[in-house]
Amino acid sequence: MTELPMSEFLVAPSILSADFARLGEDVARVAHAGADWIHVDVMDGHFVPNITIGAPVVKSLRPVSKLPLDVHLMIENPERYVEDFAKAGADFLTIHIEAMKSPSETEALLRRIRHLGVKPGITLRPVTPVEQLFPFLSLVDLVLVMTVNPGFGGQKFMADQISKISALRNELRRIGHGALIQVDGGVSPETAVLLGDADVLVAGSAVFGAPDVREAIRNLKTARSVAKPVAQ
Ligand code: DX5
Ligand code: ZN
């Protein structure tokens, strides 16, 4: 199944830039302001040099909003934790290809995530060639292009990663699969106009750091109308 690009981007605010002392209120605030998904960055201090949150926080956030909880696992040994996140109420679970030991383990984990009733996603560090994801695209509902090195919010957008988005769009068309393409890192209304081949934008500082959260989300969504797809 191939899908036509949507007229607006879906926007997934990253709670990494929220106030962790008021996390529930911040999630409710962006949900009320038009967010489509809630992006949850899970970091273990090993796969990336930062530590954030785990499945108990996802469980606590589950009743706060009906929006899909989009969990980005920046952790080693993700196979040890997917069941916890599924039970906690994650809707999407995205794993890093660099955290996997072999293609067969990657394939098995993506199948297991789906079997747990969660939509599987796959992603890569900026340094990893996009072709490494191609063998797994038919197994995922979401493919994430990182436009910063994973680990921290508020970093500068890496424009040299944009070609990966059109490469993924072309490959998804070629295999006739309708997975969503997501972009994460340094996304703002200014950089969003360069992301015409994407479907879902993650934004931390551009949403939570904005004076008007509703306007920030709206500006990200409508950037789709000026963003030109380059994939053919
Ligand atoms: C980085 C995380 C991002 C981060 C994005 O490792 O995956 O989701 O929160 O933050 P901004 O939008 O501020 O670059
Ligand atoms: Zn993320």
Q: Which CATH number fits domain 10-225: 3.20.20.70, 3.40.50.300, 3.30.310.220, 3.40.930.10?
A: 3.20.20.70
In the prediction, which pLDDT does 65 show?
96
Atom of ligand 1 nearest to the CA of 39: 8
| Ligand 1 mean position, distance from CA 37 (Å) | 14
Q: Is this prediction's pTM over 0.75?
A: yes
In the prediction, which pLDDT does 101 show?
98
Atom of ligand 1 nearest to the CA of 203: 12
In the prediction, which pLDDT does 177 show?
98
In the prediction, which pLDDT does 231 show?
84
How confident is residue 230, by pLDDT bands cut at 50, 70 and 90?
confident
Q: Which of 48, 202, 207, 213 to mutate to test the pocket of ligand 1 (most atoms within 8 A of CB)?
A: 202
DSSP class of residue 7 equals S
Domain segments of the chain as ranges: 10-225
User: Which residues, judged by CB distance below 6 Å to any ligand atom, belong to the binding site of ligand 1?
Assistant: 14, 16-17, 39, 41, 72, 148, 150-151, 153-155, 184-187, 202-206
Phi, psi of 140 (to 5 degrees): -115, 155
In the prediction, which pLDDT does 3 show?
52
Catalytic residues, by residue number, are 41, 184
Q: Which ligand is nearest to the CA of 203?
A: 1
How confident is residue 168, by pLDDT bands cut at 50, 70 and 90?
very high
DSSP class of residue 14 equals B
Name beta bridge partners: 94. 72, 121
200: left (phi over 0), alpha (psi -120 to 50) or beta: beta
Residue-wise pLDDT for 47-102, tens only, equals 999 999 999 999 999 999 999 999 999 999 999 999 999 999 999 999 999 999 99
How confident is residue 1, by pLDDT bands cut at 50, 70 and 90?
very low
Instruction: Give the C-alpha separation, 33 to 102, whole Å.
Output: 41
How confident is residue 192, by pLDDT bands cut at 50, 70 and 90?
very high
Q: Which of 19, 30, 40, 41 to mutate to test the pocket of ligand 1 (most atoms within 8 A of CB)?
A: 41
Q: State how beta strands 119-124 and 180-184 pair.
A: unpaired
Q: What is the mean pLDDT of residues 189-198?
A: 97
44 neighbors 13 (Cβ within 8 angstroms): no
Give the closest residue (by CA) to ligand 1 atom 9. 153
